[in-house]
């Protein structure tokens, strides 16, 4: 980039940053949180449920009111586009608006709402960027209703994945394909566009969902990468029988076998604590789930993660041994549902995000941004396969997320959106 061009894009980035409105951002966060909002302050808006479809409609209307063109693709990913001076591949930001069965107002939603705030700031500042800027709403990031997670973003970068995803079923046996078709039918006014379109870059703004930034007293984080993750489903089949009449020594109790496995898995994870290994057995389905019947079938999920891929691979081998030996007389099926090696964002992108965060911190006279690895996975993990990608984090109070109590200081949310405005404008050029 020429010196004067770089200077122009820095000035435009600074102007956009200064037009971000904290009040408008807070209003938009609260408005979106009404869709699936709960009395305890949380949000229940799992992917492609009626609540999610209503939230999508609200966002489409809001983006159109701002003058954006709206498009959707075959995985129901939504795109809100502010035109550039040229039609070159756009700069993209955004995140997801689906939540865990009970989540907070900010996980994903913040990145989408802040993306729209950036478009509004550009508008108010009278900045016309060289490249278009798009805000995306990725479908099913959470993976709680239909597994795996990040379906929308991973299908965008490799559309061949979509056929397999369409067959995934939720707890009520509805397929992801049927849910996507329903979502598309609900917005006949939104034109369809192909997936895998070229992008100049992707920047995702997200809450940290962990304690690192808050503990350090730093308002903004430059994310250098994302740790490895593997998901499994374990299905244990025993024999359902009468709880009162069946002697203990002749039972084939699926739950007893699972409890033994769980104890051994947690003990092994505790041994690996120093290497940062994380283990969660998050979803249990017990059949027939009756007080006086021995469980005949139990299914549970394993979520395991680590920054060190070698530690995760070793734990994986131990986990397989434990699951197979713990079976007793039961039958065990282990199914892999998701695997992702560590993601490393390119240094040119982390440097750009660092510049953006440093500017927001300097204006607020706050400590300089901190570099950190993400413990959670994000859509940016897949976008990194497709285009130059980066992420910005803001702190999470008490490190809590995937919980109704998820919260971030308003000033930090404001600074995150300012840094996003700067980074996006720098990338889009002016
Ligand atoms: C995303 O929600 C994750 O589980 O990391
Ligand atoms: Mn998220
Ligand atoms: Mn989440």
pLDDT in tens, the chain (430 residues): 678 888 999 999 999 999 999 999 999 999 999 999 999 999 999 999 999 999 999 999 999 999 999 999 999 999 999 999 999 999 999 999 999 999 999 999 999 999 999 999 999 999 999 999 999 999 999 999 999 999 999 999 999 999 999 999 999 999 999 999 999 999 999 999 999 999 999 999 999 999 999 999 999 999 999 999 999 999 999 999 999 999 999 999 999 999 999 999 999 999 999 999 999 999 999 999 999 999 999 999 999 999 999 999 999 999 999 998 877 899 999 999 999 999 999 999 999 999 999 999 999 999 999 999 999 999 999 999 999 999 999 999 999 999 999 999 999 999 999 999 999 999 999 9
Q: What does the alpha-carbon distance between residue 407 and residue 64 come to, in Å, rounded to a whole number?
A: 29
pLDDT of residue 117: 98
Rounded alpha-carbon distances, angstroms, from residue 368 to 22, 113, 173: 20, 24, 49
Whether 231 is in the pocket of ligand 1, judged by its Cβ within 6 Å, is no
Residues 151, 140: contact at Cβ < 8 Å?
yes
pLDDT of residue 326: 75
For 289, the 3-state DSSP assignment is coil
Å from CA of 379 to ligand 2 middle: 8
Whether 98 is in the pocket of ligand 1, judged by its Cβ within 6 Å, is no
In ligand 1, which atom is closest to the CA atom of 303?
A: 4
Å from CA of 158 to ligand 3 middle: 22
CB-neighbour burial class of residue 418 (10 A; exposed 0-12, middle 13-18, buried 19+): buried
Å from CA of 148 to ligand 3 middle: 12
In ligand 1, which atom is closest to the CA atom of 107?
A: 2
Whether 376 is in the pocket of ligand 1, judged by its Cβ within 6 Å, is yes
Residues 155, 165: contact at Cβ < 8 Å?
yes
For 313, the 3-state DSSP assignment is helix
110, 376, 380: residue to mutate for ligand 1 pocket, most atoms within 8 A of CB: 376
Å from CA of 383 to ligand 3 middle: 17
Which residues hold their Cβ within 5 A of ligand 2, which is an ion? 107-108
Q: Give 26's Cβ-side CA count (13 Å radius).
A: 11
Whether 142 is in the pocket of ligand 1, judged by its Cβ within 6 Å, is yes
Å from CA of 11 to ligand 3 middle: 35
């Amino acid at each position: 980039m020429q010196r004067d061009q770089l200077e122009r894009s820095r000035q435009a980035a600074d102007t956009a940053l200064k037009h971000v409105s904290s009040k408008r951002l807070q209003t938009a966060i609260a408005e979106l949180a009404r869709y699936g909002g709960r009395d305890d302050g949380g949000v229940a808006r799992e992917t492609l449920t009626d609540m999610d479809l209503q939230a999508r409609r609200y966002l489409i209307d809001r983006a159109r009111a701002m003058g954006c063109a709206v498009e959707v693709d075959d995985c129901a990913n939504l795109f809100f586009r502010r035109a550039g001076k040229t039609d070159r591949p756009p700069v993209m930001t955004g995140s997801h608006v689906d939540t865990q069965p009970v989540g907070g107002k900010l996980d994903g939603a913040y990145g989408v709402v802040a993306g729209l705030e950036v478009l509004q700031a550009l508008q108010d500042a009278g900045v016309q960027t060289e490249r278009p800027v798009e805000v995306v709403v990725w479908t099913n990031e959470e993976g709680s209703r239909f597994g795996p997670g990040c379906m929308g973003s991973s299908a965008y970068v490799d559309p061949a994945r979509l056929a397999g995803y369409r067959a995934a079923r939720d707890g009520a046996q509805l397929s992801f394909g049927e849910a996507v078709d329903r979502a598309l039918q609900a917005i006949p006014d939104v034109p369809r566009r192909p997936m895998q379109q070229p992008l100049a870059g992707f920047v995702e703004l997200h809450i940290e969902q962990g304690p690192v930034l808050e503990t350090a007293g730093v308002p903004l984080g430059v994310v250098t990468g994302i740790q490895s993750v593997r998901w499994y489903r374990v299905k244990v089949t025993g024999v359902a029988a009468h709880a009162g009449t069946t002697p203990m020594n002749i039972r084939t109790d699926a739950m007893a076998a699972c409890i033994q496995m769980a104890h051994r898995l947690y003990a092994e994870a505790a041994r690996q604590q120093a290497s940062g290994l994380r283990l969660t057995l998050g979803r249990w389905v017990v059949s027939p789930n009756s007080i006086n019947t021995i469980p005949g079938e139990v299914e549970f999920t394993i979520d395991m993660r680590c920054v060190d891929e070698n530690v995760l691979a070793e734990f994986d081998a131990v986990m397989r041994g434990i699951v197979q030996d713990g079976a007793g007389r039961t039958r065990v099926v282990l199914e892999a549902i998701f695997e992702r090696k560590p993601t490393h964002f390119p240094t040119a992108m982390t440097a750009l995000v660092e510049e953006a965060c440093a500017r927001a911190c300097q204006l607020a006279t706050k400590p300089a941004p901190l570099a950190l690895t993400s413990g959670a996975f994000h859509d940016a993990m897949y976008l990194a396969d497709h285009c130059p990608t980066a992420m910005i984090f803001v702190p999470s109070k008490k490190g809590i997320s995937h919980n109704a109590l998820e919260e971030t200081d308003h000033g930090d949310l404001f600074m995150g959106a300012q840094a996003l405005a700067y980074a996006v404008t720098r990338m889009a050029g002016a």
